[in-house]
Amino acid sequence: MDPVRRPRGRPRKPVLLEAAALRPRRGLHDQAAERLRALIVDGTLPAGAALVETELSVALGISRTPLREALKLLAVEGLVELRPNRSPRVAELRPDAVTELFEAIAAIERAAAELAASRITPAELERLRAYQSELEAHHAAGALGPYFALNQQIHALIVACARNTPLREAHEALHARAEIARRRALDSRARWDESVAEHRAILAALEARDAAGAGRLLADHVGHTGTALLAGLARPDAA
């Protein structure tokens, strides 16, 4: 029997690849999740706020189906609480969850700083120095918003300088919850003052290529932030 002959020309794409090519690069639920995540992190949607699907679908310009998928994603991240027969709500910062979160972040960032001390490049050190100068300027001006945004970049850069993909992915998975918590902790001016000085010491350890020192200082810095947040949550006016 003669072998089956295939038509000449470019090989036919698998059906699954053809179908994938027709889809948008990012689904509506991913875009909705990104927008809601940003609103939760910056406090526009505060802890405990009800997330009414009809209102959100109108505000975001999407149907309720992708909105529900977005809310499920945020629930997996720990940002949203799904409740049977009731509207979802923005997750509260519970003391036990805060303790666990900061233990995890401290462990990840300690490991990242230890690796970064030997792997960070001169250009990256120069960028950290520039960030530190900006950070101190924002602190002196009392500009919490810009300070907070730059603080996120500094922590992310140190983790990136470790050049360890699993560490970076673990850090990114906790990013949104960590930033909500850090923002709340920096409501305290005393903690804000301490944080600037701690960042200065972390930079000095990285410049000295002191792996143990950089790891310890960054882990302590994260731990102090967690302690400040827990103290704030314990205040009677924190609700």
219, amino acid identity = A
Buried b / exposed e across 169-202, counting CB within 10 Å, b at 16+? ebbeebbbbbbbbbbbbbebeebbeebbebbeeb
pLDDT surpassing 80 at residue 4:
no
Tens digit of each residue's pLDDT (9 = 90 or more) over 69-118: 999 999 998 899 999 989 999 998 889 988 999 999 999 999 999 999 99
Residue intervals in the chain for CATH 1.20.120.530: 95-238
CATH architecture of the domain 24-90 equals Orthogonal Bundle (1.10)
The answer to whether residues 225 and 185 touch, using CB atoms and an 8 Å cutoff, is: yes
Axis crossing angle, helix 64-76 with helix 53-60, rounded to the nearest 10: 110
CA 159 to chain centre: 12
Mean of all residue pLDDT scores within the chain: 86
Residue 212 — very low, low, confident or very high, per pLDDT cuts 50/70/90? very high
Tens digit of each residue's pLDDT (9 = 90 or more) over 138-160: 999 999 889 988 999 999 999 99
CATH number assigned to the domain with residue range 95-238, chosen from the 4 options 3.40.50.620, 1.20.120.530, 3.20.20.140, 1.10.3720.10: 1.20.120.530
Q: Is 174 helix (H, G, I), strand (E, B) or coil?
A: coil
Residue intervals in the chain for CATH 1.10.10.10: 24-90
Q: Would you mind telling me the total number of residues written for the chain in this entry?
A: 239
Share of the chain above pLDDT 90, in %: 58
Say how far apart CA 91 and CA 50 lie, in whole Å.
Answer: 10
Whose structure tokens read 């720990």?
78
The count of other CB atoms within 10 Å of the CB of residue 168 is 16
Which helix (H) or strand (E) segment holds residue 81: the answer is strand 80-81
Vertex 76, ends 238 and 29: CA angle to 5°? Answer: 110
CA 94 to chain centre: 18
Closest CA to 89 of 81, 97, 100, 98: 81
pLDDT surpassing 80 at residue 41:
yes
Q: End-to-end CA distance of the chain: give it in Å, rounded.
A: 81
